[in-house]
C-alpha cells in the first residue's frame, strides 16, 4: 500500500510539534528495585521541573516484585502527582512489563527507560528535540559498553551480528529499549497480537522515521542487575527465533551436505573393495559417525521443537500479562 502524503501537511505537522505543549510518558518496568525508584524519580522530576512545555506521566510497571518496591512507589505517589503504578499479578518478565506500560501510557511521546539510571534521563531532552524536528522514533545508542563485563560485551556483539545476518528487520547495534516514540508508533505496537514478544525486534519492525542520539551508558546507581548468563542466552534465542526461520533452513542445508559426504564416502568404500578386494570395517569410525549424526539429529529436533513450542504458546492466545491493580493519580 502506498500512502501519498501532502508535503505541506507534513511541514505543518512539524511546525505544530515545535510549538506544542506535550505529555511525556516514561514507561519504567521495575522488579525488586526498592533501592533505585526514589533516586530515579528525584532525578527525573528535577530534570523536568523547569520545563513548562512538558507534562510528565511516569508509568511504573511493578513486575511482581517480592521486596518493598510497591510500597516505595505508593509512598512516592503521595509526593509526586505524575506517578501511575501498574501492578502486575506476578512476574511476567520485562518484555511483558514493557507491553503493559505502553498500553497504559497516555503521552503524545513515550520513552521506555530503566530505573537504574544507566540510561541518563537528560538524553530525553535531546530526543525531544529530534521529535520536534519531525522524527517519530529517536533511538538512544550507547557509544561504549564499559559498564558491562567483557563476556556481556562480546555476547552482545555476536548476537547483533548473527541476528542481523539472518533476520529481517535488522536491529540497530548497541540500542536497547531506551528510545522515544511518537503516539502513532505506540499505537502500532499495541496492535501487534503476538504473545511471545521480543520488543527490540518489534520496535524495529514497525519502522517510522527514525533518528539516533548517542550517549555514554553509566553504572547502576544501586541494586543488582536481574539478568544473568542463562537469562541472556534465552533472551538471545528468543530474538533469533522471533524474526527468522533461518535456523530451521540451516538444518536442511546441513543435512544435504552430510548426505552428500556420506554418498561420496560410500562410493569410496565400494571402489576400494573393487580394487583391493578387501573391506576392513572400522569400529571407531562407525561409532564416531553414529554419535555425530545422532547429535546433529537431536539438535535439529530441538530447533524444530523451539519453533513448535512458540506456535503452541501463540495458539493458546493467552494475554501477555495480567494487571492486579492500577494506582492512578492523574485523570485518564
**Does residue 151 form part of some domain?**
yes
CA-based end-to-end distance of the chain: 34
What range does the domain containing 259 cover? 246-316
**Does residue 236 form part of some domain?**
no
35 has pLDDT over 80: yes
What dihedral angle (degrees, nearest 10) is formed by the CA atoms of 183, 20, 178, 247? 30
Task: Count H helices and E strands in the chain, helices first.
Answer: 11, 8
Q: Are 247 and 257 in contact (CB under 8 A)?
A: no
Q: What integer is the mean pLDDT of 26-54?
A: 85
Hunting for cell 539516533 — which residue is that? 212
Tell me how many domains the chain contains: 2
- The answer to whether the Cα torsion of 95, 101, 104, 106 is positive or negative is negative
What's the pLDDT at 9? 45
**Does residue 238 form part of some domain?**
no
- Share of residues in the chain with pLDDT > 90 (%): 2
Looking at the structure, tell me whether residues 47 and 179 fall in a common domain: yes
What dihedral angle (degrees, nearest 10) is formed by the CA atoms of 139, 141, 147, 150? 120
Instruction: Give the integer Cα–Cα distance in Å for 271 and 131.
Output: 72
106 has pLDDT over 70: yes
1 has pLDDT over 50: no
CATH number of the domain within which 168 lies: 3.90.550.10
* pLDDT top residue among 49 and 230: 49
Q: What value does the mean pLDDT of the chain take?
A: 76
SS3 94: helix
Instruction: Give the integer Cα–Cα distance in Å for 25 and 44.
Output: 12
Looking at the structure, tell me whether residues 200 and 78 fall in a common domain: yes
Q: What integer is the mean pLDDT of 66-89?
A: 87
Per DSSP bridges, beta strands 22-30 and 109-112 are parallel
Looking at the structure, tell me whether residues 277 and 250 fall in a common domain: yes
Instruction: Give the integer Cα–Cα distance in Å for 76 and 329.
Output: 11
Phi, psi of 317, deg, nearest 5: 60, 35
Looking at the structure, tell me whether residues 223 and 256 fall in a common domain: no
Going by C-alpha positions, the residue among 188, 206, 197 that lies closest to residue 310 is: 197
- Per-residue model confidence as pLDDT tens digits over 152-166: 666 666 666 666 676
Instruction: Give the integer Cα–Cα distance in Å for 200 and 179.
Output: 11
Going by C-alpha positions, the residue among 160, 285, 158, 141 that lies closest to residue 217 is: 141
Per DSSP bridges, beta strands 175-182 and 109-112 are antiparallel
SS3 137: strand
Phi, psi of 77, deg, nearest 5: -65, -30
Looking at the structure, tell me whether residues 135 and 274 fall in a common domain: no
**Other beta carbons less than 10 A from residue 149's beta carbon:** 10
Looking at the structure, tell me whether residues 78 and 208 fall in a common domain: yes
Going by C-alpha positions, the residue among 257, 259, 241 that lies closest to residue 198 is: 241
What's the pLDDT at 26? 92
Going by C-alpha positions, the residue among 44, 4, 35, 52 that lies closest to residue 226 is: 35
- Per-residue model confidence as pLDDT tens digits over 283-330: 556 766 676 677 667 777 777 777 777 776 777 777 878 888 888 865
**Does residue 122 form part of some domain?**
yes
Looking at the structure, tell me whether residues 192 and 254 fall in a common domain: no
The secondary structure of residue 257, as a DSSP letter, is: H
C-alpha cell of residue 200? 527490540
Looking at the structure, tell me whether residues 104 and 162 fall in a common domain: yes
Amino acid at each position: 500500500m502506498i500512502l501519498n502524503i501532502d508535503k505541506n501537511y507534513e511541514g505543518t505537522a512539524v511546525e505544530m510539534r515545535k510549538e506544542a505543549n506535550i505529555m511525556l510518558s516514561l514507561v519504567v518496568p521495575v522488579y525488586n528495585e526498592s533501592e533505585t525508584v526514589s533516586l530515579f524519580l528525584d532525578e527525573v522530576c528535577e530534570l523536568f521541573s523547569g520545563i513548562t512545555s512538558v507534562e510528565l506521566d511516569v508509568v511504573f510497571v511493578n513486575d511482581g516484585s517480592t521486596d518493598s518496591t510497591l510500597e516505595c512507589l505508593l509512598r512516592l505517589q503521595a509526593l509526586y502527582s505524575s506517578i501511575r503504578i501498574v501492578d502486575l499479578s506476578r512476574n511476567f518478565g520485562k518484555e511483558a512489563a514493557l507491553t503493559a506500560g505502553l498500553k497504559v501510557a497516555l503521552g503524545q511521546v513515550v520513552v521506555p527507560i530503566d530505573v537504574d539510571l544507566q540510561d541518563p534521563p537528560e538524553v530525553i531532552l535531546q530526543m525531544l528535540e529530534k521529535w520536534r524536528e519531525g522524527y517519530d522514533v529517536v533511538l538512544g545508542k550507547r557509544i561504549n559498553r564499559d559498564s558491562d563485563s567483557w563476556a556481556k560485551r562480546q555476547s552482545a556483539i555476536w548476537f547483533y551480528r548473527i541476528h542481523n545476518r539472518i533476520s529481517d528487520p535488522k536491529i540497530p547495534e548497541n540500542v536497547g529499549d531506551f528510545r522515544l516514540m511518537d503516539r502513532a508508533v505506540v499505537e502500532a505496537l499495541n496492535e501487534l497480537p503476538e504473545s511471545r514478544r521480543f520488543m527490540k525486534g518489534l520496535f524495529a519492525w514497525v519502522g517510522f522515521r527514525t533518528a539516533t542520539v548517542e550517549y555514554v551508558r553509566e553504572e547502576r546507581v544501586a541494586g543488582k542487575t536481574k539478568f544473568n548468563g542463562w537469562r541472556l542466552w534465552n533472551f538471545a534465542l528468543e530474538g533469533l527465533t522471533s524474526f527468522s526461520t533461518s535456523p530451521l533452513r540451516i538444518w536442511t542445508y546441513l543435512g544435504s551436505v552430510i548426505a552428500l559426504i556420506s554418498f561420496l564416502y560410500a562410493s569410496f568404500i565400494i571402489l576400494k573393495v573393487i580394487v583391493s578386494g578387501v573391506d576392513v570395517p572400522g569400529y571407531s569410525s562407525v561409532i564416531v559417525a553414529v554419535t555425530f549424526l545422532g547429535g546433529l539429529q537431536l539438535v535439529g529436533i530441538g530447533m524444530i521443537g523451539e519453533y513448535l513450542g512458540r506456535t503452541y504458546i501463540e495458539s493458546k492466545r493467552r494475554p501477555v500479562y495480567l494487571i492486579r491493580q492500577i494506582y492512578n493519580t492523574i485523570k485518564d
